[in-house]
Structure 1
Amino acid sequence: MNNQTYGVTPPISLTDPTSKDKELNDLLIKELKVRGSYESEAATLKRVEVLTTLQKLTEDFVYEVSLRKNMTQGMAKDAGGKIFTFGSYRLGVYGPSSDIDALVVVPRHVTREDFFTVFEKILRGRPELEEINSVKEAFVPIIKLEFAGISIDLLFAKLDIPRVPHDLTLDDKNLLKNIDEKDMRALNGTRVTDEILRLVPKPTVFKNALRFIKMWAQQRAVYANVYGFPGGVAWAMLVARICQLYPNAVSAVILEKFFQIYSQWNWPQPVLLKQIEDGPLQVRVWNPRLYAMDRQHRMPVITPAYPSMCATHNITNSTQKIIMNEFNRGVEIIGEIFTGQKVWSHLLERHSFFHQYKFYLCVVAATKSNAEEHLKYSGMVESKLRLLVQKLEQVDGVELAHPYVKSFENAYYCKSDEEMSSIVNAYGTLQGDEIASHFSTPKERKMEESEVEVNLTKLYIGLKLNLIRDGEKKLDIQYPCSDFFSICKNWPEFNPAIHFIQIKNVKLYDLSADVYIEGEQRPVKVSKRKRSLTKDEGKKRPRSIESIASKS
């Protein structure tokens, strides 16, 4: 029995699992295996080999830069360099299709510019490299690559030390001195992941419970930090806190308590894995008593590594309601799992987002250029979507603005601006599907000289409306849409000649076919029998939603 106290309060229960708990836990592991959550040993070994190669390349990179900066061969060799991992790989909850989040840590004389020139050149020279894309201007600068069949996100951090030895760890807060914000953000991923693992009583119990919660959150479409839902780190911390409160429980019981506790949590009381620490830097640490912005966080989940931050600051009024509905659904189903009426797969049933609303807004980002140019633009639009959600929440008649957690992408070849407009204007609808079927795509063939490539991304927001107001049934969303257009057009790289933004109202039965997965039945419109209107009803204006469609 584990009697040690973890976290900011004593445990709720130290009870050991019953035979029934263990039986349910075995069924849980079986369900995870059936759904392909675990990777084969051979595939895991391949990841280790790839990371070993990247470690060698990191040392070669630091060595080459050191020589260029007039160091002796001995000093250059001694300068070191080290690869750290974080995210799902470091937490041990990765699956067959998971990428690897990795961090290249270097000594003070190696710069970020060196990373994007010298190191990128080294990577490009490797036979294992299949794809590479550098994003220097990202919030956290990154090199994305496909290397030996594995997707890897490589971050960079420079420490203010002369050498980075093999045995270096990142838990010393003093390592954060004299580094810039981008380096600190890059280091934070590894520091937070390591701290989470240190703060849970039984790592295996935590990992299996987290595997299930990640799968559940993805199936229920509540997993996406950028759109206003918890991301991977936040879900990991939420699970870790339950593990602290029930240190002897098996994963099945952790899941039961997860839904019970968070469905009743007194938000915005924060979820903490340990007390918030002070440190040696003049940096902001999450503190709602000091900072008004921190007081606005609706469901704060606080990172355990200094400097502590809120991992869920993007959650809006609507997304909080959606998350709470999912917690309540979880309580109901898991209760039936524990009484034998239901099984784990019931909890993992796919969401019904594209069935549950009468009206949807479709946000379309289009680029009259190649996929690489479009990726930058569409990424910016996606990152601003939650601001549109927040503005829609303030409109009279909007009860809920529910963002979908994934984007949909397509590319077509057009021979004229008219052809391009016809696709862009109808994109995201059934009519758009029909129009697009007449155009070729980059997957089918190469572009001809007389053609232009248009890349498109569509994002959906489901609207729950209450339109009975002053005897009228009408919704005016012009202001939030116009405001959103302004935000997108103020992007420093916005070029009206190639970048386009649209918002259109799409009814449930007019949604694009590709939002439904294979085997999923799309909603069928049931025709209502017409009845004669009463005298008063005939005077009322029809229910409508003002469609906004704007190009720039």
Structure 2
Amino acid sequence: MSNQNGSQRRLGVTMPISEAFPLKEDLESSDRLLQALKDQGLFESDEESKRREIVLGKLDKMVKEFVYLVYVRRGYSEQIAKEAGGKIFTFGSYRLGVHGSGTDIDTLCVVPRYVEREDFFQVMLDILRRRPEVADLAAVPDAFTPVITMSFSDIPIDLTFARLGLTTIPDTLDLSDDSLLRNLDDRCIRSVNGSRVTDEILRLVPNIPTFRLTLRCVKLWAQRRAVYSNMMGFLGGVAWAMLVARVCQLYPNACAATIMSRFFSILHQWPWPQPVLLKPIEEGPLQVRVWNPKLYQADKAHKMPIITPAYPSMCATHNVTDSTKAVMLSEFKDAAEIVNRIMSQRVPWSALFVKDDFFTRYRHYLQIIASSDSNEVHLTWSGLVESRIRHLVAKLERIDNLVLAHPYIKGYSKVIKYRTAAEKEDAAHGIINAQAQEAVEGAADSADVKTMYISCYYIGLCIPVREEGSKAHRKLDLYRPKEEFTEIVKSWDKYDEQTMGIVVQHIRSSALPADVLPAEALEDAEQKKNKRAKSGKKNAAAVDARPPNKKRRGSAVQNGVASDAASVTSVASADTPGTPSTIASPIVKSDVSTASTPASRSGQKDFIFSRSLWKKKLRKPLDGGSEDLSIYKVSVATQGFHSQAD
């Protein structure tokens, strides 16, 4: 196996599938792929690249200032405080060399032993607040890996923290030494390993330029198809990088186009939950936990384990749920078939990067709305709510008559102006009257006009089709998951009922706000609206002649967003004419025979609405044949790990 310098070395936990070198047509396809990525604006300018270097230089100086201040406050001399040091490390896409224009930089603040994590979220945060270049500053100290997020000179930054057991942190510090992990807590180990894993991935790929081009393509695809988010239960940047690295190991001499032609088919057929490994797992000399499903029940429960190569090995995909796994497997299958057509030059590479259809895929959604009175509070509060949504997904997966709960990877934020308490309450429930909002914004300088910040997150609810001939209603009890999730976020020790709000409500696809819908969906809605308006004119006399129905309740919908009560009513009765409203009941009845089938990029997508059929569909061989994956099971068995199905 050859690396980028032409020397021979064997990488990975198995023999390669093929060591063939690329043909002329493969190289030409790789050239077309590179051009397609350039056309998508994936490469940053030299000016932006220099700006990133300047920002990192400033951050490094600020970290040294931070350590100095903490040491002085603890009574150490000026000399010792200056020599204590501190250093910034980068990891993630920037360190891998696959970052694009506007992407964030993952950074690690490494400090000596006398600086505490509490200092980081107080002293360092204060230093950042005083910098005019810093905007959108938010701290998430309770995250799995605690982090400060910000925009520094318009460059998004994620800053994590690690305290080493050293008295000084020199600029020459190398984090590859395993002994540096001694006596660190789990959060510090996770933070340090972010940088260590990135460096190890680069060491374990046979050809770095090929790896980088392939990873850029995969990352763009994952972002466009809305499966790029570790927080929401999909895969994050490091997991995608490890998957690409593993396929590169299996085809060490292949070009990027060939790697892409194998990538999705291999992942679609991978015998999950067998782990993806870049090298054998090391036990190591330290008393730290290493991923091992034979010892730890939590590790055995991982759905799609992708294991980090740096000691101590961890699962980078512990957030994956049954629902997000099912969504990803479906996307892998679709992408594999698209790439097959690309390689035969039936479609261009751009066909792989079509945007997701999440907001036209389902008939029913959960809308989670986080609201706050100030921007600074909202950045922290909405971040906390977003980080807990995967727990809501897990709770939804346990209720009857729900095939999967599909979270969207990002939220939609708005700044709302209001005058009255009623307007504030409406906004907190997503009820926004566009005309009233324009009027209030026109008087923004008025003393009685206040500001509210809201962020909306969505979960698509996939309901099974009703059995043929059945007329029975199905009950979908969303009450308990909603209440339990609300309790979880409100149990945050910094939660303030006066300044923070949380609403979880069911809405139908027809009530989705305009800002989340694709242009074609808005056009369809406008056409239907015009059609209804024409039809309404013809029937106006008949409508006016009808006596008022006291049992009929008007839908509390403004600007395309329904209130919780209205959404429950629509689910209870909209599919079944004449069904009485059941607003007070936590049990929602729904005629599931009309569960929507998602729109398709290729016109061939066939979403399945039962767990058994999901499995049958997702294991169906791909068009154009499949790889022999028996090699993977052998490699995993040598590590002592076995599939739950074995």
TM-score (norm 1): 0.88
SS at match of 2:336: helix
Structure 2 vs 1, CA of residues 134 and 471 (structure 1 numbering), >3 Å: closer, same or farther?
A: closer
TM-aligned CA deviation for residue 391 of structure 1: 2.5
Structure 2 vs 1, CA of residues 239 and 148 (structure 1 numbering), >3 Å: closer, same or farther?
A: same
Question: Over residues 304-351 of structure 1, what are the superposed CA-to-partner deviations in whole Å (9 max), with x where a residue is unaligned?
Answer: 112211111111112111101111111111111111111111111111
The residue that corresponds to 2:415 in the other structure is 411
Residue identity matched to 2:412:
F
Q: Distance in 2 between matches of 1:180 and 1:38?
A: 37
The residue that corresponds to 2:486 in the other structure is 485
TM-aligned CA deviation for residue 503 of structure 1: 2.9
1:295 aligns with 2:300: yes
Q: 2:426 aligns with which of 399, 422, 427?
A: 422
**Runs of at least 5 residues in structure 1 that lack an aligned partner in the other structure:** 530-540
Q: Distance in 1 between matches of 2:437 and 2:524?
A: 27
Structure 2 vs 1, CA of residues 549 and 336 (structure 1 numbering), >3 Å: closer, same or farther?
A: farther
SS at match of 2:323: helix
SS at match of 2:473: strand
Structure 2 vs 1, CA of residues 452 and 139 (structure 1 numbering), >3 Å: closer, same or farther?
A: farther
Q: Distance in 1 between matches of 2:101 and 2:422?
A: 43
1:109 aligns with 2:114: yes
**Structural RMSD (CA):** 2.9
The residue that corresponds to 2:379 in the other structure is 375
Structure 2 vs 1, CA of residues 260 and 53 (structure 1 numbering), >3 Å: closer, same or farther?
A: same
SS at match of 2:151: strand
The residue that corresponds to 2:596 in the other structure is none
CA contact (8 A) 2:282 2:311 kept: yes
CA contact (8 A) 1:363 1:504 kept: yes
Q: Distance in 2 between matches of 1:356 and 1:90?
A: 36
Residue identity matched to 1:79:
A
1:145 aligns with 2:143: no
CA contact (8 A) 1:447 1:453 kept: no
Structure 2 vs 1, CA of residues 246 and 183 (structure 1 numbering), >3 Å: closer, same or farther?
A: same
Residue identity matched to 2:486:
F
Q: Distance in 1 between matches of 2:135 and 2:383?
A: 22
**Which of 286-295 and 393-402 deviates more?**
393-402
CA contact (8 A) 2:369 2:502 kept: yes
CA contact (8 A) 2:370 2:454 kept: yes
**Which of 229-238 and 489-498 deviates more?**
489-498
SS at match of 2:379: helix
Structure 2 vs 1, CA of residues 364 and 131 (structure 1 numbering), >3 Å: closer, same or farther?
A: closer
Structure 2 vs 1, CA of residues 119 and 373 (structure 1 numbering), >3 Å: closer, same or farther?
A: closer
**Runs of at least 5 residues in structure 2 that lack an aligned partner in the other structure:** 3-7, 536-574, 587-646
The residue that corresponds to 2:635 in the other structure is none
Q: Distance in 2 between matches of 1:547 and 1:513?
A: 25
TM-aligned CA deviation for residue 112 of structure 1: 3.3
CA contact (8 A) 2:371 2:500 kept: yes
Residue identity matched to 1:23:
E
Question: Over residues 83-104 of structure 1, what are the superposed CA-to-partner deviations in whole Å (9 max), with x where a residue is unaligned?
Answer: 1101111111111101211112
Q: Distance in 2 between matches of 1:444 and 1:201?
A: 60
Residue identity matched to 1:30:
Q
CA contact (8 A) 1:83 1:104 kept: yes
Q: Distance in 1 between matches of 2:223 and 2:69?
A: 43
SS at match of 1:439: helix
The residue that corresponds to 2:503 in the other structure is 502
CA contact (8 A) 1:389 1:401 kept: yes
TM-aligned CA deviation for residue 442 of structure 1: 10
Q: Distance in 1 between matches of 2:108 and 2:99?
A: 17
TM-aligned CA deviation for residue 123 of structure 1: 4.4
TM-aligned CA deviation for residue 75 of structure 1: 4.5
Q: Distance in 1 between matches of 2:439 and 2:241?
A: 39
The residue that corresponds to 1:476 in the other structure is 476
1:455 aligns with 2:453: yes
**Which of 382-391 and 81-90 deviates more?**
382-391
SS at match of 1:178: coil
Residue identity matched to 1:323:
M
1:161 aligns with 2:166: yes
Q: 1:542 aligns with which of 554, 576, 588?
A: 576
Question: Over residues 54-79 of structure 1, what are the superposed CA-to-partner deviations in whole Å (9 max), with x where a residue is unaligned?
Answer: 33333344445445556566554443
SS at match of 2:371: strand
TM-aligned CA deviation for residue 157 of structure 1: 1.6
1:228 aligns with 2:230: no
CA contact (8 A) 2:89 2:195 kept: yes
Structure 2 vs 1, CA of residues 462 and 146 (structure 1 numbering), >3 Å: closer, same or farther?
A: closer
**Which of 385-394 and 343-352 deviates more?**
385-394
1:279 aligns with 2:284: yes
1:31 aligns with 2:36: yes
Q: Distance in 1 between matches of 2:319 and 2:440?
A: 35
Q: 1:387 aligns with which of 387, 391, 400?
A: 391
Question: Over residues 478-506 of structure 1, what are the superposed CA-to-partner deviations in whole Å (9 max), with x where a residue is unaligned?
Answer: 33333323333333333444443333332
**Which of 333-342 and 474-483 deviates more?**
474-483
CA contact (8 A) 1:277 1:307 kept: yes
Q: Distance in 2 between matches of 1:72 and 1:503?
A: 53
Structure 2 vs 1, CA of residues 97 and 167 (structure 1 numbering), >3 Å: closer, same or farther?
A: same
CA contact (8 A) 2:137 2:379 kept: no
CA contact (8 A) 2:112 2:168 kept: yes
The residue that corresponds to 1:534 in the other structure is none
CA contact (8 A) 1:401 1:462 kept: yes
TM-score (norm 2): 0.76
Structure 2 vs 1, CA of residues 124 and 168 (structure 1 numbering), >3 Å: closer, same or farther?
A: same
Residue identity matched to 2:481:
P
Structure 2 vs 1, CA of residues 290 and 242 (structure 1 numbering), >3 Å: closer, same or farther?
A: same
**Which of 162-171 and 448-457 deviates more?**
448-457
**Which of 95-104 and 510-519 deviates more?**
510-519
Structure 2 vs 1, CA of residues 404 and 442 (structure 1 numbering), >3 Å: closer, same or farther?
A: farther
Residue identity matched to 2:513:
S
Structure 2 vs 1, CA of residues 340 and 120 (structure 1 numbering), >3 Å: closer, same or farther?
A: same
CA contact (8 A) 2:370 2:385 kept: yes
**Which of 306-315 and 513-522 deviates more?**
513-522
The residue that corresponds to 2:563 in the other structure is none
The residue that corresponds to 2:352 in the other structure is 347
Q: Distance in 2 between matches of 1:498 and 1:305?
A: 43
Structure 2 vs 1, CA of residues 131 and 515 (structure 1 numbering), >3 Å: closer, same or farther?
A: closer
Q: Distance in 2 between matches of 1:159 and 1:452?
A: 46
Residue identity matched to 2:387:
S
Question: Over residues 208-237 of structure 1, what are the superposed CA-to-partner deviations in whole Å (9 max), with x where a residue is unaligned?
Answer: 111111100010111111111111111111
CA contact (8 A) 1:81 1:165 kept: yes
Q: Distance in 1 between matches of 2:315 and 2:582?
A: 37
Structure 2 vs 1, CA of residues 146 and 471 (structure 1 numbering), >3 Å: closer, same or farther?
A: closer
Question: Over residues 366-414 of structure 1, what are the superposed CA-to-partner deviations in whole Å (9 max), with x where a residue is unaligned?
Answer: 33x2122233332222222222222322333222221111111123232
Residue identity matched to 1:474:
R
**Which of 491-500 and 196-205 deviates more?**
491-500
CA contact (8 A) 2:360 2:521 kept: no
Residue identity matched to 2:391:
L
Residue identity matched to 2:252:
P
Q: Distance in 1 between matches of 2:440 and 2:276?
A: 47
Question: Over residues 156-187 of structure 1, what are the superposed CA-to-partner deviations in whole Å (9 max), with x where a residue is unaligned?
Answer: 22211122222211111110112233322221
Off by >6 Å, runs of 4+ in structure 1: 441-445, 526-529, 543-550
Q: 1:401 aligns with which of 400, 405, 408?
A: 405
CA contact (8 A) 2:364 2:509 kept: yes
**Which of 261-270 and 349-358 deviates more?**
349-358
SS at match of 2:403: strand
Work out the number of aligned pairs and report it.
Answer: 532
Residue identity matched to 1:483:
E
The residue that corresponds to 2:613 in the other structure is none
SS at match of 1:226: coil
1:213-252 alignment, distance < 5 Å: 213-252=218-257
TM-aligned CA deviation for residue 247 of structure 1: 1.0
SS at match of 2:231: helix
Q: Distance in 1 between matches of 2:326 and 2:92?
A: 27
Q: Distance in 2 between matches of 1:232 and 1:441?
A: 43
CA contact (8 A) 2:30 2:256 kept: yes
Q: Distance in 2 between matches of 1:492 and 1:71?
A: 33
TM-aligned CA deviation for residue 449 of structure 1: 4.1
CA contact (8 A) 1:223 1:405 kept: yes
Structure 2 vs 1, CA of residues 59 and 505 (structure 1 numbering), >3 Å: closer, same or farther?
A: closer
Q: Distance in 1 between matches of 2:73 and 2:356?
A: 55
The residue that corresponds to 2:607 in the other structure is none
